[in-house]
A and B are shown apart, each in its own frame.
Chain A
Amino acid sequence: MDESTSVTAPPDRVGRSERSARMAELLDAARGGSEDALGQITAELSPVLWHVARAAGLGADDAEDVVQTAWERLLSHLADIRVPQALVSWLVVTTKHEAWRLRSSGRRQRPADQEWLTAIPDEAAGAEEQIVLDEQQRALWRAVGRLSAQCQELLRIVAFIPRPDYQSVSAALGMPVGSIGPTRGRCLEKVRVLLADELDGRRA
């Protein structure tokens, strides 16, 4: 079952501490009023927030609004945020909260949940615009699709969080460390089982 351990290219573990150091510098500069530093931070962390908002079931326009709002709110909190880990958790929690607020405001009737799940053309690729996935990726996609909605949301968020920040983000989201932090939680365990199953099924 060697294949199951090579789902994608090996993760890039290089330069993580440099990244933390760079983010800490940018954060200091942004607190000191550097719009350029803040711009670099938004470039770095907006993708995480996009996926947090989409994972919460927002449509694309709403997700963009919510990401904007989270950054705008950050401006008046910047002075309180000292370390990059706190920055990521603050932004993730604020985005999640804003997404929830937008959804529960009743203005958005059409649930966008799972819209992305159907975005993958199954086997019938062909048109060049379509997303071409290899066998491993399809297996992983199907495995993710079999998870509970809650696990899908959680893993999608976790997958985009810089690794040194897992712990603080999990604490901030109020989730038991086991389900997002440095220890493997139920959702990850489940996706491993499903992935192995998908890979077996293909071969059978």
Chain B
Amino acid sequence: MKSPDDAPGQQLDDLDFEILDGIRALFERVDPMPADLPERVRFSLAMRGLEREVARLVTEEDPRLVGARGTEQSRTVTFDSASLSIVIRIEENKNGSVRIDGWLAPPQPRGIEMQTTAETLSARSDEQGRFAFAEVPQGTARLVVVGSGARDRADGGPSVVTPALVL
């Protein structure tokens, strides 16, 4: 019981909990969270809006299924939600990642996120509703059109989330 290496496997006891409580109390005093941080978080979340729409897969066109057009390995996927349509074209890059080009209809500038299992990539659509991710790792991902607070404007709306896509 003297060596730390003997110890793993023991249940936490009262002293462990007291030490952890002590460490928490110390950090609360030495380096406290800024008191107004939760309020600012709350504000920014309210701006983004809790509402979200789940987009539905409408069509998926895969050249490997409908007949290859040359050597291009690309497919086009269309999603629909109450407020938006999203079309994306997925193309394989030489390095194994994929390139994604997308369009929003109606066209509008919005924050776009590609959530992969490893990380979340961010982009923005332009006035024509176009966006692109040059390199997305292969795997499972989904696209989020980030909600915009400007609901009274034509280009505002709730977040739209697509189902998971296999890239």
Contact = CB atoms under 8 A, between A and B. Distances in A.
Interface of A: 4-11, 30, 33-35, 38-39, 42-43, 46-47, 50-51, 54, 60, 64, 67-68, 71-73, 75-79, 97, 101, 116, 119-120, 131, 133, 136-137, 140-141, 144, 155-156, 158-160, 163, 178-179, 182-186, 188-193, 195
B120 interface: yes
A178 to B, nearest CB: 4
Contacts of B50: 30, 33-35, 38, 75, 78
B23 A182 contact: no
Contacts, number: 161
A68 to B, nearest CB: 6
* Chain B residues touching A, majority SS: helix
Contact of B7 (A51, A136, A184): A184
Nearest to B143: A76
Contacts of A67: 37, 41
A103 to B, nearest CB: 14
B25 A186 contact: no
B144 interface: yes
Interface stretch (B9-17, B81-89, B129-137): B9-17
B18 A160 contact: no
B158 to A, nearest CB: 10
Given A68-B40, A97-B119, A11 B31 contact: no
B27 A51 contact: yes
A97 B115 CA distance: 13
Nearest to A138: B26
B22 A8 contact: yes
B30 interface: yes
Contacts of A11: 17-18, 20-21
13 contacts: A68-B41, A73-B120, A76-B113, A97-B119, A140-B22, A140-B23, A144-B23, A159-B23, A163-B17, A183-B11, A184-B10, A186-B8, A188-B16
Contact of B41 (A46, A79, A131, A160): A46
Q: For B13, B15, B146, B161, which residue has the most chain A Cβ atoms within 10 angstroms?
A: B15
A92 B41 CA distance: 16
A140 to B, nearest CB: 5
Given A7-B18, A79-B52, A116-B27, 19 more contacts: A7-B15, A8-B21, A8-B25, A11-B21, A33-B51, A34-B50, A35-B46, A42-B42, A46-B33, A46-B38, A71-B45, A76-B115, A78-B50, A116-B31, A137-B25, A179-B8, A183-B12, A184-B8, A186-B8
Contacts of B96: none
B153 interface: no
Contacts of A7: 15, 18-19, 21-22
A60 B34 contact: yes
A191 B31 CA distance: 20
Contacts of B56: none
A6 to B, nearest CB: 7
A88 to B, nearest CB: 15
A72 B51 CA distance: 13
A149 to B, nearest CB: 15
B94 to A, nearest CB: 25
Contacts of B48: 72, 75
Contacts of B159: 75-76
